[in-house]
Structure 1
Amino acid sequence: MSRQTMFPEGSVKFGITPAGWVNDDFPDIDIGIPFEQIVSEMALAGFCGCSRGHKYPSDPAVLKPELDMRGLQMSEPWVSTYFTIKDMYQKTLENFDKEIEFIQAMKSGDMVLAELGCSSHQQPIALVPNAPNFSDEQWKNLANGLNDLGHKANQKGITMCYHHHMGTGVMNMDQIARLAEMTDPNLVNLCLDTGHLHFAGGDNLEFIRLYGDRIRHVHLKNIRQEVMEYCLAHQLSFKESILRGVFTVPGDPAGCLDFEAIFQALVEKDYSGWLIVEAEQDPAKAKPLLYAQMARQYLREITGL
């Protein structure tokens, strides 16, 4: 297939998260850009989808018309699970059920989730040294819980994808392998986050080779290699790493990831679904619209879409 049509027409959709405009993990990373401007700039940059952020209206009856008028679909809500800590199973299921209702009301979107029990990523502490190492019992509880949620999602016709994440107990390739082995592939799909995987020492092409048949959602996050190495060497927190500029968008010359090779590997696995640009950056330093346009133009150049 030629470079101009890397993915078959209609097989993928390009979206973006609001993380470049305002941060959901750290709401104080915010220069006051309102919801209406965020989603307008997403559309202006050429994206057809977006994930939900904390500045968005919570009522789908309000949110959907705002997205519709800008030609945007909801690509995913985020769901945090807490199966590895005490007395949170029922609460996790209740939160999941609410997000299923949200997706159904929005009439689009995959379910993207991650286990945040004992996670270091939202804490003001060294990110990697303090990430949890789950016990055998915690792994069993996590796998059983995810299989239960996957069954719920399947019953509603919703694609549920697990997101490996820095600072969590499913961060590196060994942990991802254990999760993949312990969960039912018919119930628990995977979300590839290119930046989180590289940050954790993983290889994106190897991930796609191993789990391509389970990848149903992709976050396109680029990494500034020198910044990443500094953050790891100095044991910075996740927030400190973001503010230092560890993440950027595809197409930024400062980034180190080869997205053309990543896309080609996905094509070879017949990937179809959302490709979501995500780069947690300080909007005071990295103008959100500029970086969104940079990413979309780059994606258009290498995929022809």
Structure 2
Amino acid sequence: MNDSPAANAPASEPANGAPNPGLRIGTAPDSWGVWFPDDPKQVPWQRFLDEVVTAGYEWIELGPYGYLPTDPHQLEDELGKRGLKLSAGTVFTGFHKGEDQWQRAWDQALEVAGLASKLGAEHLVVIPDLWRSDATSEQLEPRTLTDEQWKKLGAGHDRLGKALLEEFGMKQQFHSHADSHIGTTREVLRFLDETDPRFTNLCLDTGHFAYYGGDNVKLIEDRPDRIGYLHLKQVDPTMLFDVLKNDQPFAEAVADGIMIEPPNGIPDLAPVIEAVARIDPEIFAIVEQDMYGCDVDRPFPIAKRTREHIFGCTHLARIS
């Protein structure tokens, strides 16, 4: 049983006892099928921004660096004239591979955090390298880490988180991921144990955590101090066991629709949102339905229906 104030506070108020406005609900380029900076099959960035507004969102993520304009003045203008705001950027890391990975990570941070922080974003979502390529499905390295690799992983993320705070005032939010070394509950918990909460916390992606059977609400209640950011998505339970049994690569599973439109999948989003709102209503909850490879006309109605579903299933959700 969890006796923390966050776990036992009523759903209508956070742990500090103040009235709870609920979490800010946003969306991301990923929900429009955008995985790469430049891909002719992806929706053009102008259309993405316009459809975000029409779908009823105000907060977005940067997406892959180079998809949206990288000039801060142009991006500020494009977001401003649409009433949009930026919650976070994203980088990719492989600290378990050794010291040479630091420069790669910091070079990305200088670009992404440098841009996002100028537009007021306070979070950097960090995704670990996959052991299986999301482009070719080739196995790139062993599926599990050695104890030495775990130590390198934790130390690298703490170093990055400390540098982000000092240089940009941004918080690192680590994103566990299918086909990565940190996906199962045991792996996520070990990652938390290997890292310092001052510098490294979780972007809890509800779909990716459920992909390997994780209980999102239990993780939130067991480690409330380590939840810094949310990605909201659902996984299709009717497909999941076939995907795992047949060892289907994640990218292929996405193309087949493993990440499904709410409320048709798991986990239920309302209990997740309410559990996190009890911790801190300033945490972002960004809808991020993996849809790479979809037709450009498909994402918008799903994004609109998803927002409507979220606001219809819990009162602890807000736009801004």
Q: Same fold (TM over 0.5)?
A: yes
Unpaired runs of at least 5, structure 2 = 1-8
Instruction: Quote how far apart the aligned CAs of 1:284 are.
Output: 2.2
The amino acid that maps onto 2:126 is L
Distance in 1 between the 2:87 and 2:36 partners? 19
Instruction: Quote how far apart the aligned CAs of 1:278 are.
Output: 0.8
SS state of the match for residue 160, structure 1?
A: strand
Once the two structures are superposed, residues 76-119 of structure 1 have per-residue CA deviations (whole angstroms, 9 ceiling, x without a partner) of 11111121224222222222233221122212241110221x52
Q: Is the 8 A contact 1:19 1:279 kept in 2?
A: yes
> What is the count of residue pairs matched by the alignment?
299
Where do 1:8-47 residues align within 5 Å?
A: 8=19, 10=21, 12-24=23-35, 31-47=41-57
Distance in 2 between the 1:32 and 1:240 partners? 17
Distance in 2 between the 1:154 and 1:236 partners? 38
Instruction: Quote how far apart the aligned CAs of 1:124 are.
Output: 3.3
Q: Which residue of 2 aligns with 1:301?
A: 312
Alignment of 1:167 with 2:179, yes or no, is: yes
Q: Which residue of 1 aligns with 2:101?
A: 88
SS state of the match for residue 210, structure 2?
A: helix
Distance in 2 between the 1:270 and 1:52 partners? 23
Distance in 2 between the 1:233 and 1:286 partners? 32
SS state of the match for residue 77, structure 1?
A: strand
The equivalent position to 1:257 in structure 2, one of 264, 267, 275, is 267
The equivalent position to 1:178 in structure 2, one of 185, 190, 201, is 190
Q: 1:215 to 1:121 in 2, by over 3 A?
A: farther
SS state of the match for residue 272, structure 1?
A: coil
SS state of the match for residue 97, structure 2?
A: coil
Distance in 2 between the 1:211 and 1:249 partners? 27
Moved more, 273-282 or 51-60: 51-60
Q: 1:57 to 1:279 in 2, by over 3 A?
A: same
Alignment of 1:150 with 2:179, yes or no, is: no
Q: 1:186 to 1:101 in 2, by over 3 A?
A: same
Alignment of 1:191 with 2:199, yes or no, is: no
Alignment of 1:270 with 2:283, yes or no, is: no
Where do 1:82-121 residues align within 5 Å?
A: 82-86=94-98, 87-116=100-129, 119-121=131-133
Unpaired runs of at least 5, structure 1 = none
Q: Percent identity?
A: 26
The amino acid that maps onto 1:136 is D
Q: Is the 8 A contact 1:82 1:88 kept in 2?
A: yes
The equivalent position to 2:295 in structure 1, one of 284, 287, 292, is 284
- The TM-score, its normalising length taken from structure 2, stands at 0.84
Cα RMSD (Å) of the superposition?
2.6
SS state of the match for residue 35, structure 2?
A: coil
